[in-house]
Amino acid sequence: MTDATLRTILLVEDEPTDVALMTRAFEKARVMNPVVHLVDGDEVLRYLAGKGEYADRVKYPLPAVILLDLKLPGATGMQILQWMRVQGEIRRIPVVVLTSDESPKTIDAAYDLGANSYLVKPGNPAEVSRMVQTIQQYWIKLNEPPQLVMRAEAE
Amino acid sequence: MPEPSTLTKPSRPSIHREDIFRRLVDSVTDYAIFLLDVNGNIVSWNPGAERLKGYKTDEIIGKHFSIFYTAQDLASDKPTRELKIAAEVGRFEEEGWRLRKDGSSFWAGVVVSRIHDEQGRLIGFGTITRDLTERRHADLRYRLLIESVTDYAIFSMDPRGYITSWNHGAQRIKGYRAEEIIGQNFSRFYTEEDRAAALPQYVLRTAEQTGHFTGEGWRVRKDGSKFWASVVVTPLRDEGGELFGFSKVTRDMTDRKLLLDELQRHSKELELRVQERDQSNAELEAFAYSVSHDLRAPLRAITGFAEALKEECEGQFSNEGREFLAEITGAAERLNGLIQDLLEYGRVGRISMPLASVNLLDAIHEAKRDLGGLPPGLLTIAVPKELRVRAYPQVLKQVISNLLSNAIKFRRENSSPEVSVVAETQGDTVRLNVRDNGIGIAPEHQARIWNVFERLHDREAYAGTGIGLAIVKRAMARMGGTCGVASKPGEGSTFWIELPQANEK
Amino acid sequence: MQNESVLLVEDDPSDFRLIQRAFNKLGERFEMFRLTNGDEAIAYLSGDDPYENRGAHPMPSMLLLDLKLPRRSGFEVLEWVRRQSSALSRLPVVVLTSSRHSVDINRAYDLGANSYLVKPATNSQLEDLASQFRNYWMSLNEFPSLAEQPRGMND
């Protein structure tokens, strides 16, 4: 993953209003990177594990960063974090928890399960927009992503 | 002859008839014929029984017939079962091992029938036993058709591994003559280590349980010398499925083993050489890595502080001072580029992954993208879509990128560059030509340009590290390809690379 | 920006000076302490002598960690932090180093680094980095608590 514009963002969010806000924010920030949007925790596991259609890593590449809501249908955000920890290369992928839960216990638990960062969803669209821009600048342009082999390894 | 004590006398004795039968029985010496009472105790004996089993009449009468059975059979309560079957069904018949008085075993054909009185009550059993050992050997020989075979040692053993037959091949391979080996245990053919590890027993057990044992290993001849054997052991079973021994076929594989050992030695050597090469590659890699890392730190300092100086003190500098500062920054940048190119050059020589089938057009497009935006119309590409070459994908991209970059860079003054990339197939080989309309290269220089740090022009005329073509040359060599140039000063240059064509992915 | 602070572990004086200069140029500043080797870093985080006084030597909110350090390497410090049984194991660690080697990048993520940044060549790039770093970690990110607390969700 050398070219920053090719790095994929995996957005895991099932709340339609939040999805709309995020999508708009990505557009405004002129984020050129491919954004994969999933709404179900089990689907996320399948994606990361390369099951089924996701085995095609050219079409469904492993992301350079995952934006992860905690409240999801299927596997929860915490369960996804837990699952990733015991995988092979997958566990290197940075996960930014992006959720409405502000409680210190949840924050602590997320870090304990290996979250790289924790962001609280802001209230208004302007702040969401700023947040998305900062996320893109930091995690896509600045941060060095792990080097992953393109095929899926996870069980 | 003593009267049988437990047999109930028939109500109407027919002594005359009884007498004739007795005489009949007594005259038979080939068969053991004797009577048992309802509990299985022996109540009569005949010369055949004495000859076959070794007991005299007075020492056997009254004893239980189970003394003729092997320990294995006793453990599984075979005698009692046989009587039960005979009593219920009328008759029991089998072939099996029986013991003589001296403890030796023989292969017996046995028939046990029940005897009842006129009221139908069981009053005892009659037994006829025949020694079948010889017949079984004959069967064996017949079955295996091996007597004359000399390439294979074929012999048979009893269930405990004692040899019961021997063929010419066995004599030839193992050195023993039949008469000196029959009756010995086959474990003597195994090495001491194998015997200590209970391998012979394992072989028999495996053969018995799974139907065969196949393996290779060292065996010992009569003279103590070892040979590499390929062996197959199969169990021999009678019609009832009972195990009566094993058959073993051994082949002398020493020659083949020596050949295999030689091959293995060679491949081990090869492995070692590859390991050494990989190790020296790894050392080079580590060296290059630490070089780049350690060189870059002071480089960062130079660049960083030069810039900081510029920011803080620019106002205080003379023009000359500002120029000097720019020189420092420029030099630091070039140093950075040199380090990067040197690293690339080193990396290209150390690739150890396998070659792949690469789509040529894709590689060209990727190289083009790496160069950033090119003005439209500058570059023409004439390469078939499906054309594939055998190469390292990343390296090929780098090569094409370097050639394109040169083609564009060495342009003629006041002339816009035009570059064409054309592919030709000649048999199995693909040649990629990168033609430009630039300044061209004089013939006397066309060899030098491929060397590291070779530049034909000063820095002011054309920027560059002088490593680009050296990387191309090294890369092509690593991929099993070639490269070259055709050029005239003022008329542009055509740089070409050749690679083997590849088939599908 | 609350009271977030960064513990920078950087042994090269030139690099440190340039980094410090870049961060100082930022409008909104935050506390940054500096140590020069791995042993010192661990002693600081452990509260060992001479860092027992948490008034003078407060716990940082996160670590900015070079990999090539004298005494214990950055990798060893990272490993040590993640190995702690106390809440300290949650300490966010951002690697800031000159190596772009995938071996180092992957190893850092495997050992639990939250993020990996490569020291850029020029000052202006370094200033960009400082700005993105501040914008993301100091203004946006939610930090875990590092003091001992009864653990919540992952019991």
Q: ipTM score of the complex?
A: 0.90
**Residues on chain C touching A116 (C-beta within 8 angstroms):** 92, 114-115
Which of B124, B99, B122 minimizes the C-alpha distance to B112?
Answer: B124
Q: Is residue A50 part of a domain?
A: yes
Percent of residues in chain B assigned helix, strand, coil, to nearest 5: 45, 25, 30
For tokens 């960690």, the residue is C65
> Is A148 within a domain?
no
Contact at CB, B297 and C12, closer than 8 angstroms: yes
Q: What pLDDT is stored for residue B334 in this prediction?
A: 83
- Residue B153 is which amino acid? A
- CATH of B353-500, picked from 2.30.29.30, 3.30.565.10, 3.40.50.1400, 3.50.50.60, is 3.30.565.10
Residue from B407, B481, B474 nearest B441 by CA: B407
Whole-number pLDDT of residue A154? 34
* Residues of chain C found within 8 Å of residue B303, distances taken between Cβ atoms: 121-123
Residue B432 has a pLDDT of 95
Q: How many domains does chain A have?
A: 1
The 3-class SS string of A36-92 reads EEECCHHHHHHHHHCCHHHHCCCCCCCCCEEEECCCCCCCCHHHHHHHHHCCCHHHH
Cβ neighbors of A136 (< 8 A, separation 6 or more) are A9, A26, A29, A31, A33
Specify whether the CB–CB gap between C9 and C65 falls below 8 A: yes
Give the integer Cα–Cα distance in Å for B64 and B102.
17
Model confidence at C85: pLDDT above 70: yes
Provide the percentage of residues in chain A whose pLDDT is more than 90. Answer: 57
- A114: chain C residues, CB-CB within 8 Å: 112
> Which token pair is B22?
């007795």
By Cβ distance, the residue of C15, C101, C124 closest to B300 is: C15
The residue ranges of every structural domain in chain C are 5-138
| Distance between CA atoms of residues B344 and B207, nearest Å | 62
Read off the CATH number of the domain in which A28 is found. 3.40.50.2300
Contact of B190 with B206, CB cutoff 8 Å: no
Q: Which residues of C touch A (CB under 8 A)?
A: 87, 89-90, 92, 100, 102, 105-106, 109-110, 112, 114-118, 128-129, 132-133, 135-137, 139-145, 149, 151-154
Q: Say if A147 falls within a structural domain.
A: no
- Terminal C-alpha separation, chain B: 96
Distance from CA of A52 to the nearest CA of C (A): 27
- Domain positions in chain B: 15-131, 136-252, 262-347, 353-500
Q: What is the dihedral of CA B174, B179, B183, B187, to 10 degrees?
A: -10
Which residue of B300, B314, B334, B347 to mutate against C (max C Cβ within 10 Å)?
Answer: B300
CATH superfamily of B136-252: PAS domain (3.30.450.20)
Could you tell me where the beta strands, DSSP code E, fall in B350-456? Answer: 356-359, 379-382, 388-391, 419-426, 429-436
Q: What is the pLDDT of residue B459?
A: 67
List the single residue in C with minimal CA-CA distance to A111.
C90
CA atoms lying within 13 Å on the CB side of residue A97: 32
| A119 in contact with chain C, both atoms CB, cutoff 8 A | yes
**CB-nearest partner of A108 from C140, C141, C145:** C145
Residue A153 belongs to a domain: no
Alpha-carbon distance A151 to B166, whole Å?
61
What is the model's pTM?
A: 0.56
The model's pLDDT over A27-79, given as tens digits with 9 standing for 90+, comes to: 888 888 889 999 999 999 999 998 899 988 888 999 999 999 999 998 899 99
For the domain bounded by B15-131, which CATH number is listed?
Answer: 3.30.450.20
- Judged by CB atoms closer than 8 Å, whether chains meet at C142 and A107 is answered as yes
The shortest C-alpha distance from A60 to chain C (Å) reads: 21
> What's the fold here for domain B262-347?
Helix Hairpins (1.10.287)
Regions of chain B short of the pLDDT cut 70: 1-18, 136-151, 349-352, 458-460, 504-505
Q: Is residue A154 situated within a structural domain?
A: no
Give the number of B-C residue pairs with CB atoms closer than 8 Å.
39
B501 contact partners, CB below 8 Å, separation of at least 6: B387, B388, B389, B390, B425, B428, B429, B430
Please return the burial class of B453, using the count of CB atoms within 10 Å of its CB with bins 0-12, 13-18 and 19+.
exposed
Q: What is the pLDDT of residue C5?
A: 92
Report which residue type is found at B146. Answer: I
Of C15, C99, C124, the CB nearest to B293: C99
What SS3 class is residue C120?
Answer: coil
Two structure tokens written together for A101? 């839960």
Contact yes or no for B358/B389 (Cβ under 8 A) = yes
What mean pLDDT do residues A77-102 have? Answer: 92
Contact call for residues A89 and A148 (beta carbons, < 8 A): yes
Question: Are the beta carbons of B127 and B36 closer than 8 angstroms?
Answer: yes
First-last CA distance in chain A = 23
Q: Which CATH class is domain C5-138?
A: alpha beta
Which of A76, A127, A144 should one mutate to test binding to chain C, selecting the residue with the greatest count of C CBs within 10 A?
A144
Query: Does residue B136 sit in helix, strand or coil?
Result: helix
- Please state the φ and ψ torsions of residue B110, each to the nearest 5 degrees: -125, 135
To which residue do tokens 């860079």 refer?
B409
The structure tokens listed for C14 are 């030139």
Helix (H, G, I), strand (E, B) or coil at B84: helix
Please indicate whether the domains covering B136-252 and B353-500 agree at the CATH topology level: no
Q: What is the largest CA-CA distance in chain B?
A: 154
Order across the sheet with C115-118: list the strands. C31-35, C5-9, C62-65, C93-97, C115-118
At B368 the pLDDT is 87
Please state, as a whole number, how many other Cβ atoms lie within 10 Å of the Cβ of residue B489: 12
The C-alpha angle with vertex B393 and arms to B391 and B398, in degrees rounded to 5, equals 100
Flag if C141 and A92 touch (Cβ within 8 Å): no
Put simply, whether A113 touches C (Cβ < 8 Å) is: yes
Closest approach of C14 to chain B, Cα-based (Å): 6
